[in-house]
Amino acid sequence: MSDVPERSAVEPVVLERALRDLAVPIALLDGADPHLPVVWVNRAFEVSTGYDAADARRHQRDPVPPGARRPDALLAVREAVRERREVTQTLSLRRADGSVYTCLVHLSPLVDADDRITHWVAALQDLTERISHDAAQSALVAAERRERRALGIVAQVSDLLMDVDDRMTPLHEIATLLCDTIVGWARFYVNDGGLRPADGIDSNHPPSGKGRRHGAPTRSVEPGADTTPGPDAVQMLLDGVKDRPVELPLDGWFPRGSASSWLAAHVHAQGPHELVDGAARAAVFSVSGRRRVLGLLVVLPRAGRGLDGLEQSARTVLELTARRVGLVIDNARLYDREHRLAETLQRAMLPQQADVDGLDVWTYYAPNSENVQVGGDWYDVLQISPDVVGVVIGDVVGHDVEAAAAMGQLRSVVRSYAYDITIPGPVLERVDQLVAGMRIPRSAGLVLSTLTRSGGSWRLDYSRAGHLPVLHVREGEVIALMEGGGPLIGFGGEGRSTQTLALEPGDVLVYYTDGLIERRDRGLREGIDALTEVVGGVTARDSAGIGEEILSRLADHPEDDVAVVVVRVPDPRDHLERGRSPRRRRWSLPSEPSSIGRARHAVVRTCHAWDMPNAANAELVVSELVANAVLHGFGHVSLQLYDTGDGLRIEVEDGNPAPPIATDGHPGRVGGFGIKIVERLADWGWRPSARGKLVWAKVRPGDLPPSAR
């Protein structure tokens, strides 16, 4: 017999009370009526809907607003009632206050002993809170997705801006990126003496700057239209009067010749028809540098409603893009100005290579590219008198403008005293005294030497002030001239000595700075030994060939500025062994018009030294190529000459990657005639290089064509 007490039956009153107090809204529907009228509800139902049983029955068939109707769910409920089975569906119900809410309805039949459905029990679950929570979560997910997309766009813009320069090559790519992601159309405009498209399209009628006319509008005005000029908001943005984005109605009427009028006409002509037709409004963002507005970013939202058509995340992306473009462009221009200033300063302080009577002299200077094209190394070759030549090479500590300024001061002082006193030791003593009084902030070392001609021979006098020794080469034997040494300039209080060496025909002197030989993995002593070995193995019979061979073996990856001077005493036997020369020459020229004449002079001298006929052809080709590099390129110009055995190969390198273009007779195209001349005289081509581009030409043998003279 079981010990579990027998449970008593639950009284109906208790069941009714339990259902009435249940927290879940419950309604009992009459199963005998096909319309299932409500016959009973519990308290939770009354609280949730505001209806008691009578009110619920009376308003049971009230329609809900069309937007809240769920016809598929109602159809499923009717189908389940007809099939006498349970059903659960999401329905929209109306409360007593007229509001509509969403709830989950579970409908179950009550069957009597005769298998008849007497009632249906409807249990309701209010989904309002869950839907609100889901909507909030969806909104958060959408916001996070927009933020991620915005960050991705900004990151891509940053990647594109890594290659920006003053010519703004990546701006078209950035505008394309914006079009592909957040706006319908985008373009950058440059404020550089007036507005113009940054990619150079449609620049036939560019505006001419602040306070000047920008050309008349090109769009016609409908009869009866309001022609009252609106404010020139674009000019206010360019002038810095406004610092927030502005809207530009493309169908607006602006003052004649205003920036807004010109820009609206340009955007109307260039933008997609589906965006510019009607009452489209462009959004204009300023591209600002540190001190002025450099340009504009103009976009057409896909909705065509100006700033109102942009989501906040899209607007943030556009503002960040415009700001970053402005700062990067400003930095690029500032760097370019400093770079050109430093390079001009450095080149101005170095002498132009010139012929020295009775000696074969070759000079070379290259700053370390990491040091903004400026440093403290220098050289000087002085024709003091017809029979006296001075050669100086020195190095000021540092790689900045201050070092270059100190170098310029020292060079001027040494030059002045060398013309007055031709003995190196006393010259350096005077320099010591003056430098101590001038308080030059940088220490410096140098070698000063004079070569004096007496009859048919030369004598070398030299003195060193804390600088590396000159190498003397005779018949393949290399000797470092260690004598005549002393402390750095400004520290020589006990006088300077002068050493003398008689030179013979064929002797070579190599002056250099530490950038040629010093590396992180070796010291100066090892560097001098390496240079000695290279110089001893040189086979060239002229100073340029010797210098080029030294550079090819030692100056491929310099870690500092490099200055080299090679002086050779001519030997009457040179013409017998000229074939031993490597037949390669190189010059580094500043990007200025005077370099064209220097290049012409250099190629003529080289052709004569190599016994190459028809130097006039090569001179004209070099003149045209260097002129193109100076006029259309940027950065210093590299000129190289090669004797290929069947002609002269010329290579000119500059920092502009754009290829040279020959004129094709187009009336609007300027320039390109020089390439036509080159085509008459040589086979030519070009290729990209690490710095920009390299244009080469191989001069054909033969006389100069009459049409090219």
Sheet holding 637-643, edge to edge: 584-589, 637-643, 648-654, 693-699, 682-688
Cα separation, 208 vs 269, in Å, equals: 20
Residue 220 has pLDDT above 50, yes or no: no
CA distances to 63, 128, 661 from 60, rounded to whole Å, are 9, 20, 84
Tell me if 292 is assigned to some domain.
Answer: yes
Higher-pLDDT residue of 323, 481: 481
Task: State pLDDT tens for residues 536-576.
Answer: 988 877 787 788 788 878 866 555 678 899 999 988 776 55
The neighbour count for residue 327, using CB atoms within 10 Å, is 16
Higher-pLDDT residue of 631, 705: 631
Record the pTM: 0.54
What is the four-CA torsion angle of 512, 513, 519, 524, rounded to 10 degrees?
A: 80
Using DSSP, state whether 455 is helix, strand or coil: coil
Q: Are residues 317 and 374 in the same domain?
A: no
Q: Are residues 273 and 357 in the same domain?
A: no
Q: Are residues 379 and 420 in the same domain?
A: yes
Q: Are residues 289 and 390 in the same domain?
A: no
8 A C-beta contact, residue 650 and residue 622 = yes
Confidence at 582, pLDDT banded by 50, 70, 90: low
What average pLDDT does range 484-499 have in this prediction?
83
Cα separation, 474 vs 176, in Å, equals: 65
Instruction: Encode 63-118 in three state secondary structure.
Output: CCCHHHCCHHHHHHHHHHHHCCCCEEEEEEEECCCCCEEEEEEEEEEEECCCCCEE
Domain that holds residue 100: 14-126
The neighbour count for residue 359, using CB atoms within 10 Å, is 20
Q: Are residues 630 and 651 in the same domain?
A: yes
Tell me if 105 is assigned to some domain.
Answer: yes
Task: Report the DSSP pairing between strands 562-568 and 477-481.
Answer: unpaired
Q: Are residues 487 and 632 in the same domain?
A: no
Burial of 596 (0-12, 13-18, 19+ CB in 10 A): buried
Q: Are residues 588 and 576 in the same domain?
A: no
Helices (H), 254-305: 259-270, 273-276
- Residue where a domain terminates, one of 521, 551, 580: 580
- Residue where a domain terminates, one of 580, 605, 636: 580
Cα separation, 182 vs 309, in Å, equals: 11
**Predicted local distance difference test score (pLDDT) of residue 228:** 54
**Predicted local distance difference test score (pLDDT) of residue 444:** 81
Cα separation, 235 vs 217, in Å, equals: 15
What average pLDDT does range 302-325 have in this prediction?
81
What average pLDDT does range 183-208 have in this prediction?
65
Task: State pLDDT tens for residues 627-673.
Answer: 888 888 777 788 888 877 777 888 898 888 778 876 544 443 334 55
- Residue where a domain terminates, one of 556, 580, 604: 580
Question: What are 127's two structure tokens?
Answer: 């989904």
C-alpha closest to that of 240 among 176, 314, 170, 296: 296
At 515, which CATH number? 3.60.40.10
Residue 320 has pLDDT above 80, yes or no: yes
Using DSSP, state whether 603 is helix, strand or coil: helix
Location of structure tokens 């569906």: 89
What average pLDDT does range 159-176 have in this prediction?
67
Which residue(s) pair with 189 in the sheet?
Answer: 197, 296
Q: Structural domain tally of the chain?
A: 4
CA distances to 570, 601, 608 from 574, rounded to whole Å, are 8, 22, 13
Q: Are residues 116 and 194 in the same domain?
A: no
**Predicted local distance difference test score (pLDDT) of residue 351:** 64
At 162, which CATH number? 3.30.450.40
Tell me if 42 is assigned to some domain.
Answer: yes
At 19, which CATH number? 3.30.450.20
Cα separation, 324 vs 286, in Å, equals: 11
Task: State pLDDT tens for residues 298-307.
Answer: 888 887 677 8
Query: Which amino acid is located at 135 in the chain?
Result: A
Q: Are residues 212 and 329 in the same domain?
A: yes
Higher-pLDDT residue of 128, 80: 80
Residue 512 has pLDDT above 90, yes or no: yes
Instruction: Encode 656-705 in three state secondary structure.
Output: CCCCCCCCCCCCCCCCCHHHHHHHHHEEEEEEECCCCEEEEEEECCCCCC
Query: Which amino acid is located at 288 in the chain?
Result: S
Residue 610 has pLDDT above 50, yes or no: yes
Tell me if 1 is assigned to some domain.
Answer: no
**Predicted local distance difference test score (pLDDT) of residue 667:** 41
**Predicted local distance difference test score (pLDDT) of residue 595:** 83
Residue 210 has pLDDT above 60, yes or no: no
**Predicted local distance difference test score (pLDDT) of residue 559:** 59
Of the ranges 256-260, 435-439, 492-496, 558-562, the best mean pLDDT one: 256-260
**Predicted local distance difference test score (pLDDT) of residue 263:** 87
**Predicted local distance difference test score (pLDDT) of residue 86:** 92
Tell me if 8 is assigned to some domain.
Answer: no
Q: Are residues 359 and 330 in the same domain?
A: no
**Predicted local distance difference test score (pLDDT) of residue 555:** 65
**Predicted local distance difference test score (pLDDT) of residue 577:** 52
496 HSE (CA, 13 A, CB side): 30
Q: Are residues 183 and 220 in the same domain?
A: yes
- Give the containing element (helix H, strand E) for 628: helix 615-632
Residue 60 has pLDDT above 80, yes or no: yes
At 702, which CATH number? 3.30.565.10
Q: Are residues 202 and 291 in the same domain?
A: yes
Tell me if 4 is assigned to some domain.
Answer: no
Tell me if 346 is assigned to some domain.
Answer: no
**Predicted local distance difference test score (pLDDT) of residue 345:** 65
What average pLDDT does range 584-613 have in this prediction?
81
CA distances to 146, 302, 407 from 139, rounded to whole Å, are 10, 22, 66
**Predicted local distance difference test score (pLDDT) of residue 672:** 52
Render the burial of 252-282: b for 16+ CB within 10 Å, e for the rest: bbbbebbbbbbbbbbbbeebeeebbeeebbb
Tell me if 344 is assigned to some domain.
Answer: no
**Predicted local distance difference test score (pLDDT) of residue 109:** 92
Location of structure tokens 């290259």: 366
How open is the CA angle 673-676-682, to the nearest 5 degrees?
Answer: 140
